[in-house]
Amino acid sequence: MKITGIEIKHYLLPLNPPFKAAWDPNPRRKFAATVVFVHTDAGFTGIGSGDLMTGFAGHEHLFIGQDPFAIERHSQIIDNIDFHYGRCWPLDLALWDLMGKAAGQPVYKLLGGRNDKILAYASTGEMVTPETRAERAKLLLAQGFKAMKIRFHHRDVRDDIKVVEAVRLAVGDRMDIMVDANQGWKMPWDTEATWDLKKAFQVAKELEQLGVYWLEEPLPSHDFRGLAKLREMAGGIRIAGGEMNRRMHDFREMNFLGSLDVYQPDVALTGGITQVRKIADMVQAGGAWFSPHTWTNGIGVMANLHLAAAVSLCPYLELPYDPPSWTPERRDYIQQDKLTIDSEGYLALPQKPGLGIELDLEAMERYAYDTVYVGEAT
């Protein structure tokens, strides 16, 4: 079996009403999705999604004519492209989907198959009043969620803490609560100062009193030593991060220093399944957890779900979900099947070969706006 063609297509869903992401002061009125298709001479097509695949054009000849199962070779080339041009890791996801289809097995079984389901935590995205967030938390609890994540981004962190207090009062000890401080990285226009170590420690101690499960990205993502020091100082709360660290040596250094309790590389943004699996093995061998970031779209969630179910020791996986503003219909708009939990709060692994994704052809036709590249064997 040989790769005969690679297609990259872009889709754009209008958002009305807009989504007011906590990390973005401008309401989001559109939601973009990039999908890569890898075709073969055996009739199988692999599908992946995540980043824009910027910088891939001109490198397609490095894959066409190759065996899709040569995944370590392909991963090295994608890593080289990452260094020079940009993140093209959706191609790695498409190759795993392709290998699963060719083997007749779901990807999680090819990766180790530790579990066939995993508890999801509802990862909320908007900043709302304490009262509104508490009401939404009770609805999540009623749906079966055992945990949720609250995002911080008020100018005064005390206003953020009030939201956690309201949620804890509303749900008691029936839900685990995570907090994302959003200090690890910035949007292009954001010039505000990030937290320093002392502020992060003060917040961590406040959240520890509220029984928060983990504090995510409390310092810049490159401050490996600061994170390690915070983890040592704030021993009663887990420190999470790493969602936007792009290179393997970042995780090697963080693991060496003991920077985090929970490592969160996203296969759609960093390393693909091939490299993130190695990161997961490395950090879990040192006693930390692997629980990936999943905020791309439903295909990205699904790829992370397969890897987490296969290898993760962490009891939870992130599921972007904050109704009525962020729903499966928005997140998974190019898919037929929308990702939802069961009544016990679990995401079940699809048993179809590959990643188990069925695309919604009607939605794809409606929301398509560009085909960047079609590479075919000559």
φ, ψ dihedrals at 326, nearest 5°: -130, 110
14 and 135 part of one domain: no
Q: Classify the C-alpha dihedral 156-161-162-167 as positive or negative.
A: positive
pLDDT recorded at residue 167 = 98
Helix, strand counts (H, E) of the chain = 12, 13
Q: State which residues form the domain around 93.
A: 3-105+356-376
pLDDT recorded at residue 37 = 97
248 and 311 part of one domain: yes
CA 109, CA 111: separation in Å to the nearest integer? 5
* Domain CATH for 274: 3.20.20.120
CB neighbours of residue 312 within 10 Å: 22
* Domains held by the chain: number: 2
Rg of the chain over CA atoms, in angstroms?
Answer: 20
The mean pLDDT of the chain is 96
pLDDT tens per residue, range 4-58: 999 999 999 999 999 999 988 889 999 999 999 999 999 999 999 988 898 898 9
82 and 168 part of one domain: no
251 and 184 part of one domain: yes
Q: Quick check: 7 and 374 in contact, CB under 8 A?
A: yes
* Domain CATH for 73: 3.30.390.10
CA angle 350, 354, 358 (to 5 degrees): 65
Question: Cα–chain-centroid distance for residue 197?
Answer: 26
pLDDT recorded at residue 54 = 85
160 and 304 part of one domain: yes
The verdict on pTM exceeding 0.95 is: yes
137 and 242 part of one domain: yes
286 and 272 part of one domain: yes
Residues of the chain with pLDDT under 50: 378
**Residue 341 burial class via C-beta count within 10 angstroms: exposed 0-12, middle 13-18, buried 19 and up:** buried
204 and 230 part of one domain: yes
Query: Quick one: which H or E segment has residue 107?
Result: helix 107-111
